[in-house]
């Protein structure tokens, strides 16, 4: 019986580092509340503030501008809600390929929402963004992800921020998929805020952060205890924050591992194409995250391929993993103009810190057998 599993779904959740487990266990063993003034409380507070410094280093921000959240989804929601609540923005502009936590937060905000199209490679249309900003002088918040979670396409955030600034707009960047994979610097991107998530970089789920540009006001969505300098009430998730800090430090130290991971991703694509010459890799014509590939084979269904690979011991996904386990049509590929039948067969493989050459070999073996079985069925049907 097969016991070895190959995990290729890092964009959904990265495996937790051993050092992160130790940090979480240490925090769980503590009795103090970070808001208490006794020794135990002060020690808990020390862990929170040290973590704030670690997360700030991850994006070269200021520790006092790090607001801990329950994850990237809350961070995205908080950025949008706050910009509207403070009056810094009265409308929201989003790209067509944003994460659902951005798209749905914008659409549910009650403010006017404009959607910027992308080209066939999934890159935002900067001219269209400029036209939207020039055509309406209502203060705007522009939301643009740093890299797409499905295709890995890296967006021209710096250029988009320059356009936004020229029209007095604020900029929020979902950097959930890029921290630990690309050098990320808040100021260099031109962002007013960045959303981060712990479990994408080998930390625990349930912890994330919104990192602000110094001087940006933040209106809280959660009130009641005054934690996080009044910006996000509720007793801090000490174990999650401690684990997030440990994962942040590891991510910074492993940023040079991208060449190795990129070589594995490229070989995985080559192996997949060898077994299915009609395979199409989406966003292959632009700069992508080196760990991510999203591909389709004409005439296949994503759910069938994902299940077949899973049974063969290989974990991949279809599109975003944030839809309660549902396999649904990708709004990202639809925005890119990918035909519905091709989009319905899109599979995403994403690698990370624990990925090895053996993982690629096991994927290649499973994929080759699945494609061979598909070919035999076609021949019989013919």
Task: Tell me: do 238 and 359 sit in the same domain.
Answer: no
- What percent of the chain is helix, strand and coil (3-state, nearest 5)? 45, 15, 40
- What is the per-residue pLDDT across 210-261, written as a single tens digit (0 to 9) for each? 999 999 999 999 999 999 999 999 999 999 999 999 999 999 999 889 999 9
pLDDT band at 321 (very low <50, low <70, confident <90, very high): very low
Instruction: Note whether 41 and 238 are within 8 A (CB).
Output: no
CB-based burial, 50-70: b 16+ in 10 Å, e otherwise = ebbebbbebbebeeebbbbbb
0.75 exceeded by pTM: yes
Give the end of a domain, one of 189, 222, 253: 253
In a domain, 211, yes or no: yes
- What is the per-residue pLDDT across 344-381, written as a single tens digit (0 to 9) for each? 999 999 999 999 999 999 999 999 999 999 877 765 65
Task: Tell me: do 280 and 244 sit in the same domain.
Answer: no
Task: Tell me: do 84 and 233 sit in the same domain.
Answer: yes
Task: Tell me: do 122 and 196 sit in the same domain.
Answer: yes
Task: Tell me: do 213 and 269 sit in the same domain.
Answer: no
Strands (DSSP E) along the chain, which ranges? 6-7, 66-69, 91-95, 113-116, 140-143, 170-174, 193-197, 208-212, 280-281, 292-296, 314-315, 347-350
pLDDT, average across residues 80-87:
98
Task: Tell me: do 157 and 34 sit in the same domain.
Answer: yes
Closest C-alpha to 257, from 356, 186, 189, 173: 356
Tally of structural domains, the chain: 2
Give whole-number Cα distances, 292 to 36, 94, 118, in Å: 44, 23, 19
The CATH number for 194's domain is 3.40.640.10
In a domain, 209, yes or no: yes
In a domain, 1, yes or no: no
Task: Tell me: do 66 and 51 sit in the same domain.
Answer: yes
pLDDT, average across residues 175-198:
97
**What pLDDT is stored for residue 105 in this prediction?**
98
| Alpha-carbon Rg for the chain in angstroms | 21
In a domain, 235, yes or no: yes
DSSP class of 88 = S
The CATH number for 345's domain is 3.90.1150.10
- What is the per-residue pLDDT across 262-309, written as a single tens digit (0 to 9) for each? 999 999 999 999 999 999 999 999 999 999 999 999 999 999 999 999
In a domain, 80, yes or no: yes
Task: Tell me: do 212 and 271 sit in the same domain.
Answer: no
H/E stretch holding 89 reads none
In a domain, 267, yes or no: yes
**What pLDDT is stored for residue 353 in this prediction?**
95
DSSP secondary structure, 277-301, as one string: TT-EETTTTS-B-TTEEEEE-TT--
Give the end of a domain, one of 253, 271, 294: 253
pLDDT band at 329 (very low <50, low <70, confident <90, very high): confident
Over 50: is that where the pLDDT of 2 sits? no
Catalytic residue among 143, 271, 294, 322: 322
Catalytic site residue 294? Answer: no
Task: Tell me: do 118 and 26 sit in the same domain.
Answer: yes
**CA torsion 242→243→247→249, rounded to 10°?**
20
Give the end of a domain, one of 207, 236, 253: 253
Give the burial class of 121: count Cβ atoms within 10 A of its Cβ; 0-12 exposed, 13-18 middle, 19 or more buried: middle
Task: Tell me: do 194 and 107 sit in the same domain.
Answer: yes
Task: Tell me: do 65 and 164 sit in the same domain.
Answer: yes
Instruction: Note whether 336 and 289 are within 8 A (CB).
Output: no
Query: What is the share, in percent, of the chain residues with pLDDT greater than 70?
Result: 95
User: Domain range for residue 266?
Assistant: 6-15+256-381
Task: Tell me: do 241 and 323 sit in the same domain.
Answer: no
**What pLDDT is stored for residue 140 in this prediction?**
98
């Amino acid at each position: 019986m097969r016991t070895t599993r190959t995990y290729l779904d890092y964009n959904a959740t990265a495996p937790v580092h051993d050092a992160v487990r130790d940090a979480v266990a240490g925090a769980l063993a503590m009795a103090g509340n970070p808001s208490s003034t006794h020794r135990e409380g002060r020690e808990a507070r020390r862990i929170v503030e040290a973590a704030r410094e670690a997360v700030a280093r991850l994006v070269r921000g200021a520790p006092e501008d790090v607001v801990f959240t329950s994850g990237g989804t809350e961070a995205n929601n908080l950025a949008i809600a706050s910009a509207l609540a403070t009056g810094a923005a009265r409308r929201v502009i989003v790209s067509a390929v944003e994460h659902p936590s951005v798209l749905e937060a914008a659409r549910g905000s009650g403010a006017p929402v404009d959607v910027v199209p992308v080209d066939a490679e999934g890159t935002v249309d900067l001219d269209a963004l400029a036209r939207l900003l020039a055509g309406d002088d209502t203060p705007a918040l522009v939301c643009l992800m740093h890299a797409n979670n499905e295709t890995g396409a890296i967006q021209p955030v710096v250029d988009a921020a320059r356009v936004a600034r020229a029209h007095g707009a604020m900029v929020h960047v979902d950097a959930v998929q890029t921290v630990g994979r690309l050098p990320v610097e808040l100021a260099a991107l031109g962002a007013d805020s960045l959303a981060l998530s712990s479990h994408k970089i080998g930390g625990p789920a349930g912890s994330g952060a919104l990192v602000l540009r110094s001087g940006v006001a933040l209106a809280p969505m959660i009130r009641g205890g005054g934690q996080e300098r009044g910006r996000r009430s509720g007793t801090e998730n000490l174990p999650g924050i401690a684990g997030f800090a440990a994962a942040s430090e590891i991510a910074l130290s492993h940023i040079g591992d991208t060449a190795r991971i990129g070589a594995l991703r490229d070989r995985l694509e080559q192996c997949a194409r060898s077994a299915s010459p009609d395979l199409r890799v989406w966003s292959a014509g632009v700069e992508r995250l080196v760990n991510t590939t999203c591909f389709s084979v004409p005439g296949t269904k994503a759910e069938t391929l994902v299940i077949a690979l899973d049974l063969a011991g290989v974990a991949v996904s279809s599109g975003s993993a944030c839809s309660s386990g549902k396999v649904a049509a990708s709004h990202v590929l639809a925005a890119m103009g990918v035909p519905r039948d091709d989009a319905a067969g899109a599979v995403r493989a994403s690698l990370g810190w624990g990925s090895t050459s053996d993982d690629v070999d096991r994927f290649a073996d499973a994929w080759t057998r699945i494609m061979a079985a598909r070919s035999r069925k076609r021949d019989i049907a013919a």
